[in-house]
Structures are given as C-alpha cells and as structure tokens.
Amino acid sequence: MSLTLSIEPGTTEYRRLLEFLPVGAYTCDVEGLITYYNPCAALLWGRAPKLNDPADRFCGSFRLYSIAGHPISHEECWMALALKERKEYRKEEIVIRRPNGEQVVALAHATPFLDEAGALLGAINVLVDITNRKSAENALQRSHDELAMTVSRRTEQLTALSQHLLRVAEEEKQHLAAELHDELGSLHAVLGMELESVLKDLRSRAPELVQRQANALRLLQQARDVKRRIIADLHPVTLDHLGLVATLREHVERWSRTAEIAANLQVASKIPPLRKDAALALFRIAQESLTNVSKYAHASSVSITLAAIGPELVLAIADDGVGIDPEKLEHPQSHGILGMRQRIAQCGGQLSVGTGPDGGGTMVCARLPACRS
C-alpha cells in the first residue's frame, strides 16, 4: 500500500487545525517538492494565499528551496540532506529570503515521514518565526560587547593611572627622603655639636645639669635614628648603592627587632642583576608583607626567600600566623595587596597570596621574569 504525503481536502479537522496554527506548517517530498502548506507558512515565505481558494495555492509546483528563496539545488537543501542521510528529526535556524528582499529568521523543525517499509517519503515541517527574538539577542550581544569593550578600556585606563600614581608616589617619597636627609640631617648635626659644647661647659660650671644635658643628647640620637628609619622607609638609599639583597637584609633585621618576630632571610647564591624599578618593586612587596605580618598575622616567625627558579626570579614571604580570609584577597579595600599586584605587574611579573607551604599562615609570592630583571 502506498502512502501519499499530503493532506486531502476532506480531512476537515486536520486541515482546520493546520490552517489556524500560529506557526508555519508544510509537507514536502524527498525532492523538496511542496505537497501542503498552511497560510502562516505562506506568510513566512512572503506570499499571501487566500484561505479555501485552491487556485491560489502552488502545491506540487514549487520546491522548498525556490519558495524559501535559496539559490541552491534541492540536493544541497539542508532538510533533504538531513532526512536522506539519517532519517531523523532535525532542528536548525534558517534564513528565509522573501521575494521583496526581506529576510526572516525561522526555527525549522523537520520530521521524517516514512512508509510501512521504512522508506522515506518526505518530511513534515514546522517553521517558527524567531526574527524578533534574534534581533533582541543580537542587540543584547552588541550591548554586551560594547560593555565589555568599555570595561576593558576603563580597566586599562585605571591600571595606567594606578601605575602612574605609584611612580609619582615613589618620586615624592624619594624627594621627601632627600629633603629629610639634607635639611633635617644638617640641623641634627649642628644641634649635636652645640649640645656637646654646652655639655663640656656644664661639667665645670654646673655639674648638677650634666645629666640633663646628657639626656638631651640621648634624645637627639633617638631623633636621628627615627629620621634614618623614616628615610629608609620612604626610599631605601642602600638599594641604589648596595642592591636588593643588602637592602633586604638591613630591613628584615630592623623589622625583626622592632616587631619582635623571628625572621629568616634566605638568598640564593646566584641572583641576576636587577633593574632599579624591579628591585624597588620587590623591596616594596617585602616591606608591605612584613608590615601586614606585624599588624594582622599574630605570627611567631617569618621566612623570606629570594631565588632564581627557572626563567623567573621569585620572592616569597611566608609566616606561621593565623592566615588570611580568601574573601579579603579580592576586596576593593585591600589596598596593600592591590598595590603589591600593581607594582609587580608594572615590571611584567605576577603576585599570588595564599596559605603557607605547610598549609597554615600566609605566603606572598612575587614572580618576575628573568628577562625583565
């Protein structure tokens, strides 16, 4: 018994259902020849057949690719290929080009229609107009792309601004350190000589005031020590003359005495020469990390390691304290960590902050490519 892939005019219920479907529905044979279509399909194709007027229909005269406006042969039609090769349901988005030049995006569903022996007779097809949805999706994608581009530009601008501010801050610190060294240092020297001179006179004229004068000299020496510490924090002079390793040793020793926390500095025997900006960045990272340890870690010991590992120069500061909350690492108010990231990024390196090697405490690790050293 042969089957015909069509809907006869006498099948009133099925015909009425298809005629008033809000989506396009049609049937075609294996060659793409249209055997039935409803009014909604005709509208999608850019035609307007009259209901219940067989003379207005073009069933049996047009193929799918000609109605849909595809300038291809029916052998290349995606629906015919899908059905012939696999005889399975297929769903794809297609573009229908109407005779007036308009384009409609439709979601096409093709279901194979088989005879009793399993031979392919054609397809039952449904077209859903998704033009508005695709337009909205495209508009949303364009907005997303524009927003992503804007965010990228703003991020670049903020990064450049942050790095510029870091450079300006370092220049200001260096200038202030020089002013303190020259101006305040000269005053301290003159004041010290005057106090020493007065002390000599007091020993013979007013012995009872010698101790008070000696106390004044001791306070002056403490002021000198404070000045040197402030200058070293503002701009480590030894970094320019003796290099990073000597500056780190001096700072770690002074920090350990002040914070009363044991500190162990380990430096590899071979460290590549460092540019001034790279050396300063690594020193500032060590300085900031040790400051954070003394403020928040409640640690009893800290290890500082500087080594060349493969193509990188690595500075690691690890403590045995209480650790750091992971949420705080990306918190906008974590200015210290953000500043360290910007410093090392300015030199082409990377900074990571996490738990220590033994699973406790905090470890700050700065990696700098050797080629940037």
Q: Which phi and psi (to 5°) does residue 119 adopt?
A: -75, 145
Chain centroid to CA 32: 50
Residues β-bridged to residue 64:
none
HEC per residue, 77-146: CHHHHHHHHHCCCEEEEEEEECCCCCEEEEEEEEEEEECCCCCEEEEEEEEEECHHHHHHHHHHHHHHHH
Q: What is the pLDDT of residues 143-179, one digit of tens each?
A: 999 999 988 888 788 777 777 777 777 778 777 877 7
Beta carbons within 10 angstroms of residue 330's beta carbon: 10
Q: Which phi and psi (to 5°) does residue 262 adopt?
A: -65, 135
H or E segment at 304? strand 301-309
- Give the whole-angstrom CA distance, residue 44 versus residue 103: 9
- Give the whole-angstrom CA distance, residue 180 versus residue 174: 10
In Å, what is the CA distance from 302 to each residue of 156, 245, 259, 309?
35, 17, 11, 21
Angle ∠(294,298,302) on CA atoms, nearest 5: 65
Q: Is the dihedral of CA 140, 145, 150, 152 positive or negative?
A: positive
Say if CB 165 and CB 79 are below 8 A apart. no
In 3-state terms, what secondary structure has residue 37?
strand
- Give the whole-angstrom CA distance, residue 225 versus residue 229: 6
Structure tokens at 177: 């350190």
Q: Is the dihedral of CA 345, 161, 238, 242 positive or negative?
A: positive
Closest CA to 324 of 296, 289, 344: 296
In 3-state terms, what secondary structure has residue 218?
helix
Q: Which residues contact 334 (CB under 8 A, 6 or more apart)?
A: 328
DSSP of 329-357: HT-TT-HHHHHHHHHHHHTT-EEEEE--T
| Residue type at position 240 | D
Q: Largest alpha-carbon pair distance within the chain?
A: 140
In 3-state terms, what secondary structure has residue 365?
strand
Structure tokens at 330: 């990306």
pLDDT at position 165:
76
Low-confidence stretches of the chain (pLDDT < 70) are: 1-12, 14, 32, 48-87, 327-335, 371-373
Q: What is the pLDDT of residues 196-238, one digit of tens each?
A: 888 888 888 888 888 888 888 888 888 888 887 787 777 777 7
Q: Which residue bears the tokens 């399909």?
A: 41
| Residue type at position 15 | R
Residues β-bridged to residue 27:
36, 124
Structure tokens at 311: 């193509």
Q: What is the pTM of this model?
A: 0.53
Alpha-helical runs (H) found in 210-243? 210-234, 237-241
- Give the whole-angstrom CA distance, residue 4 versus residue 20: 23
pLDDT at position 81:
45
DSSP of 4-35: --S--TT-HHHHHHHHT-SSEEEEEETT-BEE
In 3-state terms, what secondary structure has residue 271?
coil
- Give the whole-angstrom CA distance, residue 166 versus residue 284: 11
